[in-house]
Amino acid sequence: METRPLGDTGHESSVLTYGTIALNYVEQERADAMVEEAVDAGVNHFDVAPTYGDAEVKLAPKLNEHRDEVFLGCKTQERTYYGAWGELHRSLDRLGVDEIDLYQFHAVTRYDELDAITGDYSPEMAQGDHDPGALRAFVEAKEEGLIDHIGLTSHGDPSLIRTAIKRIDELETVMFPFNYTLAAKDGPEYDYGSVLDLAEEEGLGTLCIKGFAKQPWPEDLPAEERPYDTWYEPYDTATELEECLRFALSHGMTSIPSAGDPELLPAILEAARNYEPMTEEERAELRERAGDNDSPVPAP
Protein backbone atom coordinates (compact mmCIF):
# COMPACT_ATOMS: atom_id res chain seq x y z
CA MET A 1 0.00 0.00 0.00
CA GLU A 2 1.26 3.47 -0.87
CA THR A 3 2.63 5.58 2.00
CA ARG A 4 2.99 9.35 2.33
CA PRO A 5 4.93 11.63 4.69
CA LEU A 6 2.76 12.51 7.69
CA GLY A 7 3.68 16.17 7.54
CA ASP A 8 6.99 16.87 9.26
CA THR A 9 6.65 14.05 11.82
CA GLY A 10 9.15 11.84 10.02
CA HIS A 11 6.61 9.03 9.73
CA GLU A 12 5.39 7.60 6.42
CA SER A 13 1.70 6.77 6.87
CA SER A 14 -0.20 4.31 4.71
CA VAL A 15 -2.80 6.10 2.60
CA LEU A 16 -5.44 4.24 4.62
CA THR A 17 -5.61 4.74 8.38
CA TYR A 18 -7.43 1.96 10.22
CA GLY A 19 -10.40 3.42 12.08
CA THR A 20 -10.59 1.04 15.04
CA ILE A 21 -14.06 2.09 16.15
CA ALA A 22 -15.07 -0.85 13.94
CA LEU A 23 -13.59 -3.20 16.57
CA ASN A 24 -16.21 -2.05 19.06
CA TYR A 25 -18.92 -3.89 17.12
CA VAL A 26 -17.31 -7.35 17.00
CA GLU A 27 -16.05 -10.01 19.40
CA GLN A 28 -12.34 -10.33 20.21
CA GLU A 29 -11.65 -13.18 17.79
CA ARG A 30 -13.00 -11.24 14.84
CA ALA A 31 -11.27 -8.06 16.04
CA ASP A 32 -7.94 -9.91 16.00
CA ALA A 33 -8.60 -11.15 12.47
CA MET A 34 -9.57 -7.66 11.28
CA VAL A 35 -6.35 -6.14 12.61
CA GLU A 36 -4.27 -8.90 11.02
CA GLU A 37 -6.03 -8.33 7.69
CA ALA A 38 -5.23 -4.61 7.82
CA VAL A 39 -1.56 -5.13 8.70
CA ASP A 40 -1.22 -7.75 5.96
CA ALA A 41 -2.71 -5.26 3.48
CA GLY A 42 -0.02 -2.71 4.35
CA VAL A 43 -1.89 -0.45 6.79
CA ASN A 44 0.63 0.99 9.25
CA HIS A 45 -1.44 3.79 10.87
CA PHE A 46 -4.19 2.92 13.38
CA ASP A 47 -6.58 5.39 15.01
CA VAL A 48 -8.37 4.75 18.32
CA ALA A 49 -10.08 6.71 21.08
CA PRO A 50 -11.49 6.00 24.55
CA THR A 51 -14.92 7.08 23.28
CA TYR A 52 -14.94 4.16 20.82
CA GLY A 53 -16.47 1.71 23.29
CA ASP A 54 -14.00 -1.08 24.04
CA ALA A 55 -11.93 -0.58 20.87
CA GLU A 56 -8.77 0.18 22.87
CA VAL A 57 -9.04 -3.12 24.74
CA LYS A 58 -9.82 -5.12 21.59
CA LEU A 59 -6.97 -3.53 19.67
CA ALA A 60 -4.41 -4.25 22.40
CA PRO A 61 -3.56 -7.94 21.73
CA LYS A 62 -2.67 -7.57 18.05
CA LEU A 63 -1.29 -4.07 18.53
CA ASN A 64 1.34 -5.44 20.87
CA GLU A 65 2.18 -8.27 18.44
CA HIS A 66 2.76 -5.71 15.69
CA ARG A 67 3.88 -2.70 17.73
CA ASP A 68 6.95 -2.00 15.58
CA GLU A 69 4.78 -1.99 12.44
CA VAL A 70 1.98 0.25 13.73
CA PHE A 71 1.92 4.02 14.10
CA LEU A 72 -0.62 4.46 16.90
CA GLY A 73 -2.92 7.48 17.01
CA CYS A 74 -5.11 8.04 20.07
CA LYS A 75 -7.28 10.94 21.25
CA THR A 76 -8.87 12.65 24.21
CA GLN A 77 -11.90 14.88 24.58
CA GLU A 78 -10.58 16.14 27.89
CA ARG A 79 -9.77 19.85 27.70
CA THR A 80 -8.19 20.41 31.13
CA TYR A 81 -4.66 19.69 32.30
CA TYR A 82 -5.51 17.01 34.85
CA GLY A 83 -8.31 15.56 32.75
CA ALA A 84 -5.95 15.04 29.80
CA TRP A 85 -3.28 13.47 32.02
CA GLY A 86 -5.81 11.09 33.53
CA GLU A 87 -7.24 9.94 30.21
CA LEU A 88 -3.79 9.53 28.66
CA HIS A 89 -2.74 7.13 31.40
CA ARG A 90 -6.03 5.24 31.10
CA SER A 91 -5.52 4.80 27.35
CA LEU A 92 -1.92 3.64 27.85
CA ASP A 93 -3.17 1.01 30.30
CA ARG A 94 -6.06 -0.17 28.10
CA LEU A 95 -3.84 -0.37 25.03
CA GLY A 96 -1.02 -2.05 26.96
CA VAL A 97 1.66 0.28 25.57
CA ASP A 98 4.31 2.58 27.03
CA GLU A 99 3.98 5.27 24.37
CA ILE A 100 1.42 6.64 21.93
CA ASP A 101 2.85 7.86 18.64
CA LEU A 102 0.22 10.55 17.97
CA TYR A 103 -1.98 11.97 20.72
CA GLN A 104 -4.78 14.26 19.55
CA PHE A 105 -7.22 16.79 20.94
CA HIS A 106 -10.41 15.04 19.83
CA ALA A 107 -13.53 16.59 18.28
CA VAL A 108 -12.72 20.25 18.92
CA THR A 109 -15.75 22.13 17.58
CA ARG A 110 -16.08 25.30 19.70
CA TYR A 111 -13.84 28.25 20.46
CA ASP A 112 -14.31 27.88 24.21
CA GLU A 113 -12.91 24.35 23.91
CA LEU A 114 -9.89 25.74 22.07
CA ASP A 115 -9.46 28.34 24.81
CA ALA A 116 -9.59 25.65 27.49
CA ILE A 117 -7.04 23.48 25.67
CA THR A 118 -4.55 26.31 25.32
CA GLY A 119 -5.15 27.55 28.87
CA ASP A 120 -6.65 30.88 27.85
CA TYR A 121 -9.07 32.11 30.51
CA SER A 122 -12.75 31.66 29.76
CA PRO A 123 -15.46 32.39 32.35
CA GLU A 124 -17.54 29.54 30.95
CA MET A 125 -14.72 27.07 31.57
CA ALA A 126 -13.40 28.46 34.86
CA GLN A 127 -13.67 26.05 37.77
CA GLY A 128 -11.96 27.49 40.83
CA ASP A 129 -8.27 27.96 40.17
CA HIS A 130 -7.40 28.60 36.53
CA ASP A 131 -6.51 25.38 34.69
CA PRO A 132 -3.38 25.49 32.48
CA GLY A 133 -5.14 23.43 29.80
CA ALA A 134 -4.71 20.10 28.05
CA LEU A 135 -1.98 21.45 25.77
CA ARG A 136 0.41 21.76 28.69
CA ALA A 137 -0.32 18.15 29.66
CA PHE A 138 0.43 17.06 26.07
CA VAL A 139 3.71 18.97 26.02
CA GLU A 140 4.81 17.49 29.34
CA ALA A 141 3.78 13.99 28.21
CA LYS A 142 5.89 14.45 25.09
CA GLU A 143 8.86 15.55 27.20
CA GLU A 144 8.42 12.42 29.35
CA GLY A 145 8.32 10.14 26.30
CA LEU A 146 4.68 9.07 26.76
CA ILE A 147 3.62 10.56 23.43
CA ASP A 148 5.67 11.36 20.36
CA HIS A 149 3.54 13.77 18.30
CA ILE A 150 0.60 16.14 18.90
CA GLY A 151 -2.47 16.48 16.71
CA LEU A 152 -6.03 17.78 16.62
CA THR A 153 -9.27 16.39 15.20
CA SER A 154 -12.39 18.39 14.39
CA HIS A 155 -15.61 18.22 12.42
CA GLY A 156 -16.20 21.88 13.27
CA ASP A 157 -16.34 24.96 11.12
CA PRO A 158 -13.30 25.32 8.85
CA SER A 159 -12.51 28.73 10.37
CA LEU A 160 -12.21 27.14 13.82
CA ILE A 161 -9.77 24.54 12.54
CA ARG A 162 -7.67 27.18 10.79
CA THR A 163 -7.60 29.20 14.02
CA ALA A 164 -6.45 26.14 15.97
CA ILE A 165 -3.63 25.51 13.48
CA LYS A 166 -2.45 29.10 13.87
CA ARG A 167 -2.74 29.15 17.68
CA ILE A 168 -1.20 25.80 18.60
CA ASP A 169 2.41 25.84 17.46
CA GLU A 170 2.91 22.30 18.76
CA LEU A 171 0.44 20.76 16.29
CA GLU A 172 1.94 18.24 13.87
CA THR A 173 -1.23 16.73 12.38
CA VAL A 174 -4.85 17.71 11.83
CA MET A 175 -7.85 15.48 11.12
CA PHE A 176 -10.90 17.08 9.47
CA PRO A 177 -13.78 16.32 7.08
CA PHE A 178 -13.07 16.14 3.38
CA ASN A 179 -15.22 14.51 0.71
CA TYR A 180 -17.00 15.32 -2.51
CA THR A 181 -20.36 15.91 -0.85
CA LEU A 182 -18.77 18.85 1.01
CA ALA A 183 -16.68 19.94 -1.96
CA ALA A 184 -19.87 20.25 -4.01
CA LYS A 185 -21.22 22.99 -1.72
CA ASP A 186 -20.55 26.72 -1.70
CA GLY A 187 -20.01 28.77 1.44
CA PRO A 188 -17.28 29.21 4.05
CA GLU A 189 -18.81 26.57 6.32
CA TYR A 190 -17.91 23.93 3.71
CA ASP A 191 -14.45 25.25 2.82
CA TYR A 192 -12.33 22.42 4.19
CA GLY A 193 -10.08 22.86 1.17
CA SER A 194 -8.71 25.99 2.87
CA VAL A 195 -7.87 23.87 5.93
CA LEU A 196 -5.95 21.45 3.73
CA ASP A 197 -4.05 24.33 2.10
CA LEU A 198 -3.08 25.87 5.46
CA ALA A 199 -2.09 22.52 6.94
CA GLU A 200 0.18 21.82 3.99
CA GLU A 201 1.73 25.30 4.30
CA GLU A 202 2.46 24.61 7.98
CA GLY A 203 3.92 21.16 7.33
CA LEU A 204 1.14 19.27 9.10
CA GLY A 205 0.05 15.75 8.32
CA THR A 206 -3.57 15.64 7.13
CA LEU A 207 -6.08 12.91 8.02
CA CYS A 208 -9.45 12.82 6.27
CA ILE A 209 -12.51 12.03 8.40
CA LYS A 210 -15.97 11.49 6.90
CA GLY A 211 -14.24 10.63 3.66
CA PHE A 212 -16.88 7.98 2.94
CA ALA A 213 -19.85 10.06 4.12
CA LYS A 214 -22.76 10.52 1.73
CA GLN A 215 -25.19 12.53 3.87
CA PRO A 216 -26.80 12.48 7.33
CA TRP A 217 -29.03 9.58 8.25
CA PRO A 218 -32.71 10.42 7.64
CA GLU A 219 -34.17 11.95 10.80
CA ASP A 220 -37.10 9.51 10.71
CA LEU A 221 -34.81 6.43 10.60
CA PRO A 222 -34.24 5.04 14.12
CA ALA A 223 -30.64 4.23 14.97
CA GLU A 224 -31.44 0.54 15.47
CA GLU A 225 -32.78 0.35 11.89
CA ARG A 226 -29.73 1.84 10.22
CA PRO A 227 -27.94 -0.71 8.02
CA TYR A 228 -24.49 0.46 9.15
CA ASP A 229 -22.85 1.40 12.45
CA THR A 230 -21.72 4.81 11.24
CA TRP A 231 -22.57 8.36 12.35
CA TYR A 232 -23.61 9.22 8.81
CA GLU A 233 -25.13 7.45 5.82
CA PRO A 234 -22.08 6.15 3.95
CA TYR A 235 -21.44 5.45 0.33
CA ASP A 236 -21.43 1.67 0.35
CA THR A 237 -20.79 0.06 -3.02
CA ALA A 238 -17.23 -0.99 -3.90
CA THR A 239 -17.17 1.56 -6.72
CA GLU A 240 -18.44 4.40 -4.53
CA LEU A 241 -15.99 3.62 -1.72
CA GLU A 242 -13.12 3.58 -4.21
CA GLU A 243 -14.25 6.93 -5.60
CA CYS A 244 -14.38 8.45 -2.11
CA LEU A 245 -10.88 7.28 -1.28
CA ARG A 246 -9.42 8.40 -4.62
CA PHE A 247 -11.13 11.82 -4.36
CA ALA A 248 -9.62 12.65 -0.97
CA LEU A 249 -6.16 11.29 -1.67
CA SER A 250 -5.98 12.98 -5.08
CA HIS A 251 -6.30 16.34 -3.35
CA GLY A 252 -3.18 15.60 -1.29
CA MET A 253 -4.57 14.29 1.99
CA THR A 254 -1.94 12.18 3.74
CA SER A 255 -4.29 9.38 4.79
CA ILE A 256 -8.00 8.58 5.02
CA PRO A 257 -9.36 6.74 8.07
CA SER A 258 -11.63 3.84 7.19
CA ALA A 259 -15.38 3.98 7.82
CA GLY A 260 -16.59 2.68 11.18
CA ASP A 261 -18.70 -0.29 10.13
CA PRO A 262 -16.87 -3.64 9.86
CA GLU A 263 -18.86 -4.61 6.76
CA LEU A 264 -17.42 -1.71 4.76
CA LEU A 265 -13.79 -2.47 5.59
CA PRO A 266 -12.94 -5.17 3.01
CA ALA A 267 -13.92 -2.97 0.05
CA ILE A 268 -12.09 0.02 1.53
CA LEU A 269 -8.92 -2.04 2.06
CA GLU A 270 -9.10 -3.22 -1.53
CA ALA A 271 -9.54 0.33 -2.79
CA ALA A 272 -6.52 1.51 -0.78
CA ARG A 273 -4.33 -1.31 -2.09
CA ASN A 274 -5.26 -0.38 -5.67
CA TYR A 275 -5.23 3.42 -5.28
CA GLU A 276 -4.66 5.47 -8.40
CA PRO A 277 -4.92 9.27 -8.61
CA MET A 278 -8.14 10.81 -9.89
CA THR A 279 -8.17 13.37 -12.67
CA GLU A 280 -9.73 16.80 -12.20
CA GLU A 281 -12.39 15.82 -14.74
CA GLU A 282 -13.33 12.79 -12.60
CA ARG A 283 -13.39 14.92 -9.44
CA ALA A 284 -15.66 17.49 -11.08
CA GLU A 285 -18.08 14.74 -12.10
CA LEU A 286 -18.28 13.51 -8.49
CA ARG A 287 -18.90 17.02 -7.15
CA GLU A 288 -21.74 17.47 -9.64
CA ARG A 289 -23.23 14.10 -8.71
CA ALA A 290 -23.28 14.95 -4.99
CA GLY A 291 -24.71 18.44 -5.37
CA ASP A 292 -28.12 17.59 -3.89
CA ASN A 293 -26.84 15.65 -0.86
CA ASP A 294 -27.06 17.27 2.57
CA SER A 295 -23.83 17.92 4.44
CA PRO A 296 -22.82 14.96 6.65
CA VAL A 297 -20.98 17.30 9.03
CA PRO A 298 -23.03 18.00 12.19
CA ALA A 299 -24.24 21.56 12.61
CA PRO A 300 -22.34 23.42 15.38
| Domains along the sequence of the chain with CATH | 3-289 (3.20.20.100)
Cβ 271 vs Cβ 245: under 8 Å: yes
pLDDT tens digit sequence for 185-241: 999 999 999 999 999 999 999 999 999 999 999 999 999 999 999 999 999 999 999
pLDDT tens digit sequence for 27-86: 999 999 999 999 999 999 999 999 999 999 999 999 999 999 999 999 999 999 999 999
176 contact partners, CB below 8 Å, separation of at least 6 = 153, 154, 155, 158, 161, 192, 195, 196, 206, 207, 208, 209
State the Cα–Cα distance between residues 65 and 59, nearest whole angstrom.
Answer: 10
pLDDT tens digit sequence for 79-133: 999 999 999 999 999 999 999 999 999 999 999 999 999 998 555 544 556 789 9
Q: Are strands 256-257 and 3-5 parallel, antiparallel or unpaired?
A: unpaired
Cβ 160 vs Cβ 109: under 8 Å: yes
Written in H, E and C, the secondary structure of 61-99 is HHHHHCHHHCEEEEEECCCCHHHHHHHHHHHHHHHCCCC
Q: Give me the pLDDT at residue 134, please.
A: 97
Other beta carbons less than 10 A from residue 197's beta carbon: 14
Cβ 78 vs Cβ 84: under 8 Å: yes
Q: Give me the pLDDT at residue 291, please.
A: 84
Q: What is the pTM of this model?
A: 0.95
pLDDT tens digit sequence for 141-170: 999 999 999 999 999 999 999 999 999 999
